[in-house]
Every structure is written in structure tokens, then in C-alpha cells.
Amino acid sequence: MYLKMAKRFLLETDKRLAWKFFRNMGVGGVRSVVKYKRRLKRGEFFPPFLYVSIINSCNLRCQGCWVDVSAKQERIDIEAMSKLISEAQEMGNVFFGIVGGEPFMHPEILEIFRRHPKCYFQVFTNGHFIDGEVAAELRRLGNVTPLISVEGTEIISDERRGREGVLSQTLQGIQNCLDHKLFTGVCTSLCRTNIDDLLTDEWIDRLIEMGVLYTWFHVYRPMGPDACADLCLTPEQQVRVRKFVVETRVKKPIVVIDAYHDGAGKSLCPAATGISHHINPWGGIEPCPIIQFASESIYDDPELPDSQQRTLGEKMVQSEFLSDFRKLAQQTTRGCIVLERPDLLRDLVVRHGSRDVTARQTALAELEAMEIRTSQYHPGQEIPEKSWVYRLVKKFLYNDFGVYDGHDHSASSAPAVLELPTVVVEDEPVGV
């Protein structure tokens, strides 16, 4: 299987792009994590991977979207973005996840990539704006991987995305990327309406046949003004996702990304570990994209002289809000604190006086209205990696880095609060 995967990488991508991925993301990404681990020992938190929502606008209206896509357009302009990237590079970073809204609606997005050839960018997109010309430019640049979202069959996609003909346009965007031999991925926000269609061997086989090299199954988070809680996966389905990912990694020649587990199958939160934080279109520095509160901004403080302005690194390292968020998340659960304990997160936000950084200014009320529900944390029934490659990578580059050590989650996490019974997934007992 590993030989098949290597063959796909060599034959189905532009060789120059493969080399740039290895150099920028491979070697550079490892160095970023090494520097991050050194900072941890000094008690300094600056994430090796940053996610940046460069624009709030989008051509779709997805169910449960927490982004103010209908609000007045706000975007991080190219100069602010260049400063952000340069200051992150000074901390050792080379990887940036580009989010939105729809990132390709940003008029300067290609120039952003062009200005930073030593960085690597993963763009979360619906693919509708990737025509042949854009795909050709991405191939020329070589430092971008498009991660294109597919949310189900044609009917489900139209329902989830709030538009007609969404799937066909998305598939065309994928094909344009593949035609230009880009390192192309497909992601899905799994929910109750699409899990049976996309969490299948048939869908994985179709992706492989198309030429897609990696996939990423997110789990739907009920956030925003129209949270659509009825789309949330059940505990049984959450465990089913993990089991499918583990099995697929040992039998299919496609990379399967996940952000929720280490090699032993123990759950984790990237924001809690400090490996990733998020910057919104208004410049607010947030723990993660679904926590729309911030105490710091990427922009200079207009009330301070130039000599007293702080760099991005200084802001993140010194942020009491981000620090206290990580501590709270680490102490409460190994899962997603937003889902499991919105009450505690609300108290933290109020205590710090953190700004609601949405255009709608209703994020606190939305947080207060949330119910406690399970996330990726299912104590006692972890599903470890079967693939030695993934185990090895996660051992050194993606784990909890010891931040959960010494914390007892038996009383504070959602499974404990909800007192959930043991469930059965495919005749195997799974504690939830």
C-alpha cells in the first residue's frame, strides 16, 4: 500500500511541486514543530501552524456556518498579510492554512502566495473559483495545496451549501487542479446527512481514481447564529469516524488527515495543545476558528508609539486570554471544550472581557445558548493507529506534547457530565 502511495505521489503530481512540498512543508514543517517544542519547555506558546481567515465573504450559504459571509466584506490586505507571515517566519513558521469565507474571493490571494515562496499554504476552498488559469498559476507558484470541500451527493450538497448545482462546480474545480498536477486534497465536514455517503470505501476509491492525494474528515461543529444542532453526529457516529480513518490508512493509497487524535488514539485539541491558533478577517487572534472572541489583534495599537508596538510573536506569547484558554481546555477535557463545556468557555470570555469579533455581535449569546455535547473525547475506548507510518509521524510531530499530563478529566468532560452509557459500534463495545 505504501509503495502504491509513493507511486501516486511521483506519477500524479508535478515533480517540481512534489519537491517544493517536501522542502517547504516537509523539512520546514518539521523544523517549525521542533522550535515549538523548544518554546514549550520555556513556557512560551507560539503555534507552529497558523490558520488565517483572509476574507469573510463567500458565494455559498452553508448550513451552520459561523462566518459572517453576508456582512460587509472584510479582508486582511496584502501588506498586513505579508507582515503577519514575515513575523510568523521569524518564530520558525512556514505553514499557513488559508480559510474564509471563500479565500479565492480575496483579490490579492495569488500575490500573497507569490510574495512568500519559502512558505507553504493550504487553502480551504469550495473550488468554484479555481478555473484553468488559476490552477495554472498555482502550479507555477508551487507552494499551494488546494483542499476542496465536498459535502455530499448533489442533493445533499445543494441543501448543505444553500445553492443549486454546487457539487458539479466543486468537482470541476477539483478536476482543474488535477489537470495541472497540483497536490490536491478533498475535505468533508461530516454530519448526519452526509456520513453514510462519504464515510465509505466507495467514496475513497472514487477520490483515488480521480487523482486526489489526500482527504480530511472534519466533524461538524454546531456554531454560529444558525447552529443546526440536528446535524451533529451521535457518539456512535463519532467513534465510527475514528475507526474508519484508522482502517483506511492501512488499506488505501491516499493520505487521510485528522486533527483530533495522537498515535495511541488519545483525543486532543490543536488549540489546547497550542499547535494551532486562528486569525479572523478583522485581524483578531482567536484560539480556533469557532471561538470568535479575541483580546489581541494583528494590527498595531493606534494609542501606542511605534517603539512600544509588539510583534505577532510577542502578542501570542504574552496573551493572557490565549494562555488561560489553553489551561482551561487542558484541564477540562481532551476533546473540544467549545462543544463539551460552553459554560466554562463563556465564563472565561467574560472574565477576560474578550471582544466579540463577529460582525453580528451575537457570539456570546450563541455560546450561552449551546448545550453540552460530546466531541472526539471517548475515554477508555481509544482506537490506536494501525499504520506504523502514522504512528511514527504522530509520535514526533503531532501529539499532546505533555500538556494534558496531570489533569483528571473524569468529572469535567462531557461524557462524565452527561453520564453517557457504553455504546456499541459494529458489535464492538465503545465507551462514550
To which H or E segment does residue 214 belong? strand 214-219
At the top level of CATH, the class of 1-432 is alpha beta
Q: What pLDDT is attached to residue 341?
A: 97
Beta strands in 23-178 (DSSP E): 49-53, 95-99, 120-125, 144-149
In sequence order, the 6+-apart residues with CB closer than 8 A to the CB of 212 are 174, 178, 184, 185, 186, 254
Q: What pLDDT is attached to residue 420?
A: 66
Query: Looking at this protein, which amino acid is placed at residue 413?
Result: S
CA distance 429 to 42: 42
Residue 426, pLDDT above cutoff 90: no
Question: For a pLDDT cut of 90, what percent of the chain falls above it?
Answer: 85
Lowest mean pLDDT among 42-46, 121-125, 267-271: 42-46
Q: What pLDDT is attached to residue 342?
A: 97
Residue 431, pLDDT above cutoff 50: no
C-alpha count within 13 angstroms, C-beta hemisphere, residue 5: 14
Q: What pLDDT is attached to residue 43?
A: 87
Q: Do the beta carbons of residue 20 and residue 142 sit within 8 Å?
A: yes
Residue 267, pLDDT above cutoff 70: yes
Concatenated DSSP letters for 344-356? Answer: HHHHHHHHHT-EE
Residue 231, pLDDT above cutoff 80: yes
Model pTM score: 0.94
Residue 87, pLDDT above cutoff 80: yes
Q: What pLDDT is attached to residue 428?
A: 45
Q: What pLDDT is attached to residue 155?
A: 66
For the chain, the average pLDDT equals 93
Q: What pLDDT is attached to residue 100?
A: 94
- Beta bridge pairs of residue 108: none
With bands split at pLDDT 50, 70 and 90, how would you rate the model's confidence at 61? confident
pLDDT digits 0-9 by tens, 100-140: 999 999 999 999 999 999 999 999 999 999 999 999 999 99
For 251, 308, 376, 377, 430, the CA distances from 383, given in Å and listed in that order, are 16, 49, 11, 11, 10
Q: What pLDDT is attached to residue 161?
A: 77
With bands split at pLDDT 50, 70 and 90, how would you rate the model's confidence at 421? low
Q: What pLDDT is attached to residue 159?
A: 77
Q: Where are the domains of the chain?
A: 1-432
